[in-house]
Structure 1
Amino acid sequence: MKTKKVPLRMCLGCQQMKPKRDLIRIVKRAKDNGVQVDFTGKISGRGCYICKNIDCLEKAIKTKRIEKSLECKVPDDLIEVLRKEVIDE
């Protein structure tokens, strides 16, 4: 049998390619341009990925890589949700 190819995505914090399942997706929704954390990975819109590591998250926030990737301002409450999600992992 053939082995399935694992999709890889780049983390905005550490800039390393990792399996898509190991990352948290942040998406700017196509309908209303709202920003949210996508736990299913199926919400339509522009997405970016971050490791489940607090150092990567803080680095991405400090350098504004999330905002640059999504091409919009990221609300503070979403950043708090991300911090809680990363700490709980």
Structure 2
Amino acid sequence: MRPKKIPMRMCTGCGEMKPKKELVRVVKSPEEEISLDLTGKKPGRGAYVCPDAECLRAARKARRFEKAFSCRIPDELYDHMEEELRQREQ
């Protein structure tokens, strides 16, 4: 029997390839709303980041989410996502 294939995704912050289950999905919904998707099941375009505030800051500084979603992301949204990640870590 073959071992099951593990889906890999790249973190937008650090650029490392990691198993999909270890990363947090950031999603842009069809209604143009951007949010963290902790379940990984929300509909829309997704990008992945490590569950670490440092990786989120790196992605923010390089504007990688803005490139992935082709839109401007307000600073308040980044602050809100960072707060959600901190709460998840605890």
TM range (shorter): 0.7 to 0.9
- Point out the structure with the larger strand share: 1
For the residues of structure 1 that align with 2:32 and 2:82, how far apart are their CA atoms?
A: 22
Question: Are 1:42 and 2:41 counterparts?
Answer: yes
- CA RMSD in angstroms, aligned pairs only: 1.5
Q: CA deviation at 1:62?
A: 0.6
Q: CA deviation at 1:78?
A: 2.5
TM-score, length basis structure 1: 0.86
1:1-89 → structure 2 map (5 Å cutoff):
1-30=1-30, 32-88=31-87, 89=89
For the residues of structure 2 that align with 1:45 and 1:70, how far apart are their CA atoms?
A: 10
* Structure 1 residues without counterparts, runs of 5 or longer: none
* Structure 2 residues without counterparts, runs of 5 or longer: none
* Count of matched residue pairs: 88
- SS of the equivalent of 1:66 reads helix
